[in-house]
Amino acid sequence: MSFLYEKSDTWRWLVRKTRDSRSFFFTFATVCGVIPGIIGYGVMQVTNSTNPELEARLRQSARPETTMMGKVNQERLAEYLGELKQKQDTNDRYVAALRGETLTRKPYQRIQPVSKPNDTVTTKPQ
């Protein structure tokens, strides 16, 4: 990589021009930042398919576990949004997440308070 900034006359010219000319610097920054962004946006728009027939075919050919996970995620999202809409306390979700747990319960059931861990220590008889 050192050949780029040690021996290349083009690189030295580019550094000199961006250092000496503020307008060249902003033009170069625009070319390096905005133009690729515009090209990327154009590519995303061209490759984004809104064809309902293609979407239906892809949904029909989906694997069963993919379909199941989609339904589960949709149910969880509906439950969570319902709780937010009703302004229910959702702190137990964060407590469970910090413990590395996932809350599983019946859909649309009121959130129960998080139970406290059992602090008693049991010893085995020897």
- Tell me: the pLDDT tens digits for 95-116? 777 777 766 555 444 445 556 6
In degrees and rounded to multiples of 5, residue 73 shows phi and psi of -65, -40
Q: For the whole model, what pTM was predicted? A: 0.39
b/e burial code for range 6-37 (CB count within 10 A of at least 16 → b): eeeeeeeeeeeeeeeeeeeeeeeeeeeeeeee
In degrees and rounded to multiples of 5, residue 104 shows phi and psi of -125, 130
Reported as a single tens digit per residue, the pLDDT across 19-46 is 999 999 999 999 999 999 999 999 999 8
C-alpha torsion sign, points 45, 51, 57, 62: positive
Distance CA 52, CA 57 (A): 9
